[in-house]
Chains A and B, each alone.
Chain A
């Protein structure tokens, strides 16, 4: 069982917006604004999409945004495109001993 809880799957039509939740505890998500999100296409390495809760690395589309409320972080993808279909993982800093914990992943299907 993963430390962070994500829905197993979400779906949306092209052009629509979807949100993926990531629920942790007061020891990780709730204590730090240090959630990152990764996109993983089949057979590929994960790609950093959001870091420090809401920041986008250079080259990542502004259709991707991150937020947090309490112990739950969220990734929102607006203007869905076929290329967004992938698995998405959240990851939270959890202190100097544990370092990081991952979510179980969410499969995004673009209908």
Chain B
């Protein structure tokens, strides 16, 4: 059974960079044709896809966030990471990591981690 777990600071100051890591267990991040995504959800609001990475290192980002997002992968640690720069209060949300196929369908999700942007 694949499991994902997000980790990182729960509080980030405005204008700084948000950094999160997702650790995958129960299977290799390199096995199968899967894409590894970050998705966020502000309190009381809907889901927003942030970006994804394939184990080759190929990435795709949400056009609305592209200028601030970097996703990377470390196959030796079975982890992938998110960096979101120049954060504002609007970036306060629960951040999820998830496994998806080439064309969507997120079948495994982490439990989510709340990141608050505040001074």
Using a CB–CB cutoff of 8 Å, the interface residues on chain A facing chain B are: 2, 32, 34, 36, 38, 44-48, 51-52, 57, 89, 91-93, 96-105
Contacts and interface: CB of A to CB of B under 8 A. Distances in A.
Nearest to A33: B103
A22 to B, nearest CB: 12
A59 to B, nearest CB: 11
A29 B103 CA distance: 12
Contacts of A47: 109
Interface of B: 45-49, 52, 60, 62-63, 96, 100, 103-107, 109-112
A98 to B, nearest CB: 7
Contact of A46 (B45, B48, B109): B109
Given A2-B46, A99-B49, A57 B103 contact: no
Nearest to A105: B46
B60 A99 contact: yes
A48 B105 contact: yes
Nearest to A55: B105
10 contacts: A34-B103, A34-B105, A46-B47, A46-B106, A47-B109, A48-B105, A48-B107, A97-B63, A98-B62, A105-B46
Given A100-B49, A105-B47, A57 B107 contact: yes
Contact of A102 (B46, B103, B107, B110): B46
B66 to A, nearest CB: 10
Contacts of A44: 111
B110 A45 contact: yes
Given A46-B47, A98-B63, 18 more contacts: A2-B46, A36-B105, A38-B47, A38-B106, A45-B96, A45-B109, A46-B106, A48-B105, A48-B107, A52-B105, A89-B46, A89-B47, A91-B106, A93-B103, A98-B62, A102-B48, A104-B45, A105-B45
